[in-house]
Amino acid sequence: MRRTDTLIIGGGPAGAAAAIGLAHAGRAPLIVERRALPGGIVCGGFLGWDAIASLRRLGVDRVALGAAPITRLRLIAGGRSTETWLPAEAGGLSRARLDDAMLALAERTGAIVLRGVTVRRVTGTRADLGNGEAIEASRLIVATGKHAVRGAERGAPGGSIGLRTTIAAPPDLAGTIELHLFRGGYAGLLVQEDGQANLCVSVRPGRLREAGGQPAALMADLAREAPAIAELGMAATAWDAIAAIPYGWRARTTAPLTYRVGDQAAVIASLAGDGIAIALASGRAAADAILSGDPAEAHIARFAGRAAGPLRHAEIIRRIAESPAAAAATIRVIDRLPWLARQAARLTRIGH
């Protein structure tokens, strides 16, 4: 059986950030990532300013990655729209590009990365892999995003559904993140590094069920409520999907020697665009905790406190966004008081 000091399960932004933090301190971990190639993650590709700052500290430069600059927010609901500046410059970047760069940096810093290998089950600090091998670690970092690992489930409730596709970018999208609000959900649209647009939808299960469970039928259903996004979405040929997203949930406890990071620690409503920042912050915090000998249980309780405010504010904003009457009223208010949108965006940030 292979033995290692720290085993990180999952090589998304949270797992990679933890790995880089540990490796920088000479405690290079082992990462097991089930994807052989990056991509296929349901994410809007919005890199907030705090995520950009965290990446810079880790040694990942958003300009070098080619992230498309985003400075404006356009809100669209019920035939109305309003536009305002973001509090700071953000970026549009595909997760394939981000995850690849972060794992490459983790490797350069000294971490060992096993790609295309799945952890099937965890027992204590032992991990059984899909290839029949087993790893015994001194501690685990569970960084599997929204996916459960048998034996180390996060115990979160079910929730929304996420859908993502890539489409040709509309001409007036450059520099702007668009949020299209509709009954039971919302869609985010931005230009990413390759000039294509990333279209990401979050929807309550009931709303997708009304459309027979099919993303294409959901887009057709939205033709009257959200015509611009419906037209773009109907042109999409393939969608990535993820179910049971527990927005607003955070881990308050964990098993001994089992650190949790990213969506395994806290799941912020996706319209806040802060999930990647939380993943990076939690990865770094877990590495710091391990380096200073902080037990996993104490660490997760502290991180839950840090995430509480941003999660609570994002949930309030999500409820408004998913209710047509409240969303339309909000757009009218923001039209007159655009600084309110910037203030709301600040309240959902975890910081870096």
Task: Note the residues at the interface with ligand FAD (CB under 6 A).
Answer: 9-15, 32-35, 41-46, 48, 51, 118-119, 143-147, 149, 162, 188, 200, 202, 242, 245, 262-263, 270, 273-277, 279
269: three-class secondary structure by DSSP: coil
Shortest approach of ligand FAD to residue 34 CB, angstroms? 4
Shortest approach of ligand FAD to residue 299 CB, angstroms? 16
Q: 140, exposed or middle or buried, with CB in 10 Å at 0-12, 13-18, 19+?
A: buried
Shortest approach of ligand FAD to residue 336 CB, angstroms? 27
Residue with smaller CB distance to ligand FAD, 139 or 146: 146
Shortest approach of ligand FAD to residue 114 CB, angstroms? 9
Residue with smaller CB distance to ligand FAD, 82 or 154: 154
232: three-class secondary structure by DSSP: helix
Which helix (H) or strand (E) segment holds residue 189: the answer is: strand 185-191
Exposure on the CB side of residue 243, measured as CA atoms within 13 A: 9
Residue with smaller CB distance to ligand FAD, 241 or 320: 241
Residue with smaller CB distance to ligand FAD, 319 or 332: 319
110 phi and psi, to 5 degrees? 125, -10
The DSSP bridge partners found for residue 70 are 90
Shortest approach of ligand FAD to residue 46 CB, angstroms? 3
What number of other Cβ atoms are within 10 A of residue 9's Cβ? 26
Closest by Cα among 145, 165, 166 to 154: 145
Residue with smaller CB distance to ligand FAD, 215 or 329: 215
218: three-class secondary structure by DSSP: helix
C-alpha to C-alpha distance for 341 and 348, rounded to whole angstroms: 11
Shortest approach of ligand FAD to residue 51 CB, angstroms? 6
Residue with smaller CB distance to ligand FAD, 135 or 331: 135
